[in-house]
């Protein structure tokens, strides 16, 4: 594997696939400050409540928590500030068209480093109704029970 293709995953949004139907994904770079990059390399980030928006022809990542880097000077960064996602303009136009349709949103799935650059995997998603989520949990529990029964035999 070439050095440029190595991926170090920093954070994943585990609830995203439970709460949303994932329709499509994009990889975007992130515009970060130095202390944010250091904190990410230390693995101190959370995507739990994060979302992205298309605003004035740019994609912004909101509500993603990147903890302040302790050794940095006292002028650190705001942990939940909006961060610009770096995408091609054609991708942004396509995203904007799809997000404007009712019921769609942009959700971050993973935050990682690829070739030394911070990246985020954004997903076009539609919210799952509560009954779908309950049905999915029931199906998973039934599959586990079947597996247990097979192991006991």
**Structural domain total, the chain:** 1
Which of these, 4, 1, 2, 7, lies nearest to 119 by C-alpha position?
A: 7
Task: Give the separation between CA 35 and CA 74, rounded to whole angstroms.
Answer: 11
Query: Block means of pLDDT (10 residues each) for the chain, length 153 residues?
Result: 73 86 90 86 87 89 86 72 90 86 87 90 86 83 90 83
Q: What's residue 134's pLDDT?
A: 84
Q: What's residue 76's pLDDT?
A: 66
DSSP state at residue 128: P
Assigned domain for 38 exists:
yes
Q: H-helix or E-strand containing 56? A: none
Assigned domain for 61 exists:
yes
Assigned domain for 136 exists:
no
**Rounded (5°) CA angle 116-121-123:** 170
Assigned domain for 134 exists:
no
Give the range of the structural domain holding residue 61, as residue numbers without chain letter. 3-128
Q: What's residue 108's pLDDT?
A: 93
Which of these, 86, 119, 123, lies nearest to 104 by C-alpha position?
A: 123
Spatial contact of 86 and 28, defined as CB atoms under 8 Å apart: yes
Assigned domain for 143 exists:
no
């Amino acid at each position: 594997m070439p050095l440029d293709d190595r991926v170090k995953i920093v954070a994943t949004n585990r609830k995203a696939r439970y709460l949303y139907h994932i329709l499509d994904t994009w990889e975007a770079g992130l515009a970060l400050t130095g202390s944010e990059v250091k904190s990410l390399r230390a693995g101190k980030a959370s995507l739990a409540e994060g979302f992205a928006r298309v605003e004035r022809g740019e994609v912004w990542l909101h509500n993603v928590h990147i903890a302040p880097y302790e050794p940095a000077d006292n002028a650190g960064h705001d942990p939940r500030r909006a961060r610009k996602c770096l995408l091609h303009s054609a991708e942004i136009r396509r995203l904007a068209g799809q997000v404007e349709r009712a019921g769609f949103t942009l959700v971050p799935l993973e935050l990682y480093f690829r070739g030394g650059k911070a990246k985020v995997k954004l997903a076009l998603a539609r919210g799952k109704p509560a009954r779908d989520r309950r049905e999915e949990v029931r199906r998973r529990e039934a599959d586990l029970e079947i597996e247990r029964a097979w192991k006991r035999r």
